């Protein structure tokens, strides 16, 4: 199986922590030139220094995902110096929790901007050169809520579903150019976001953090939370030549928690 990604360039969003950072690390290990994208420049510099490097050219872009047009412009500037970005990993922090009924319109608008608009403008930035070389991998890190809405994550469920349908449509349009578009759907993963979700649930009930966490684990056939690297490994496979005929899928990495097929 060919998982060699030497000399490929990857744009990895949300790459200063959690799944994004783990993905950057795994891709760098496979020979990729990684372009980190996140808001905090100090954290970007710190991750850049950690990336495995075998004569690779790693770099970063500091950008705010609440300003998608500025994000796109910064990426376009970076692209001028590159033959192409071969791999785009769309990934950013999820919306705040809460029931959908009580969500404000501004909550939906903010999440739509951060997730779908940014994803779309980044795709428009990188796809022309992907078409030129006949190779592209667009991988969207979403959520298992694409298949099965999750309790108390109303805005997230709504926006994640929109991103999933956008991605499937895009896969149908770009497949003929050697460009695949796939979604990775993490389940409960040991990240800052999961800690926040558990803490919020604990604050609303009389249960402790550990009780909430153990209850969540009990609903997962694997009986544990995922490590970020496990999702990163799935992303790396989809980015490789070995996955060239896999297009338009939703891949849960959730220990079997999602009940639907």
Domain holding 177, by residue range, is 9-189+227-253
CATH for 96: 3.40.50.720
Of 12, 1, 18, which is closest to residue 231 (Cα–Cα)? 18
Supply the angle between the helices 41-50 and 18-29 in degrees, to the nearest 10: 30
The answer to the question of residue 68 being in a domain is: yes
The reply to whether 197 falls in a domain is: no
What is the C-alpha separation between 186 and 229, in angstroms, rounded?
11
Which H helix or E strand runs over 199? helix 192-204
By the 8 A CB rule, do 85 and 133 touch?
Answer: no
pLDDT digits (tens), the chain, 261 positions: 888 899 999 999 999 999 999 999 999 999 999 999 999 999 999 999 999 999 999 999 999 999 999 999 999 999 998 989 999 999 998 888 899 999 999 999 999 999 999 999 999 999 999 999 999 999 999 999 999 999 999 999 999 999 999 999 999 999 999 999 999 999 999 998 899 889 988 988 889 999 999 999 999 999 999 999 999 999 999 999 999 999 999 999 999 999 998
Q: What is the number of structural domains in the chain?
A: 1
In a domain, 220, yes or no: no
Structure tokens that stand for 247 in this block: 């297009």
Ranges of H-type helices in 63-153:
68-79, 105-112, 118-133
Q: How far apart are CA 74 and CA 158, in angstroms?
A: 29
Say if 97 falls within a structural domain. Answer: yes
Joined together, the tokens standing for residue 59 give 């770099």
Range list of β-strands (E), the chain: 9-13, 33-38, 59-62, 87-90, 136-141, 179-186, 250-253
pTM above 0.85, yes or no: yes
Task: Name every residue whose Cβ is closer than 8 Å to that of residue 186 and which is 6 or more positions away in sequence.
Answer: 19, 141, 143, 144, 226, 231, 253, 254
């Amino acid at each position: 199986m060919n998982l060699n990604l030497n000399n490929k360039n990857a744009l990895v969003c949300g790459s200063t922590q959690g799944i994004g950072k783990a993905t950057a690390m795994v891709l760098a290990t496979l020979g990729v030139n990684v372009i980190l994208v996140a808001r905090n420049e100090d954290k970007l510099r710190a991750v850049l220094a950690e990336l495995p490097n075998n004569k690779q050219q790693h770099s970063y872009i500091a950008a705010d995902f609440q300003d998608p047009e500025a994000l796109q412009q910064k990426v376009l500037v970076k692209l001028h110096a590159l033959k192409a970005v071969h791999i785009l990993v769309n990934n950013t922090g999820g919306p705040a929790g809460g029931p959908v009924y009580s969500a404000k319109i501004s909550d939906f608008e903010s999440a739509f901007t951060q997730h779908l608009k940014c994803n779309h403008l980044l795709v428009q930035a990188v796809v022309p050169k992907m078409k030129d070389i006949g190779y592209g991998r667009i991988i969207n890190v979403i959520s298992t809520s694409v298949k099965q809405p999750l309790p108390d994550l109303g805005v997230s469920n709504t926006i994640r579903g929109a991103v999933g349908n956008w991605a499937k449509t895009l896969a149908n349009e770009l497949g003929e150019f050697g460009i695949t578009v796939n979604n990775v759907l993490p389940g409960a993963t040991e990240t800052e976001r999961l800690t926040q979700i558990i803490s919020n649930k604990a604050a609303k009930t009389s249960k402790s953090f550990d009780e909430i966490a153990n209850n969540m684990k009990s609903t997962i056939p694997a009986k544990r939370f995922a490590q970020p690297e496990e999702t990163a490994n799935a992303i790396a496979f989809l980015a490789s030549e070995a996955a060239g005929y896999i297009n338009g899928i939703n891949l849960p990495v959730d220990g079997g928690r999602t009940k639907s097929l």
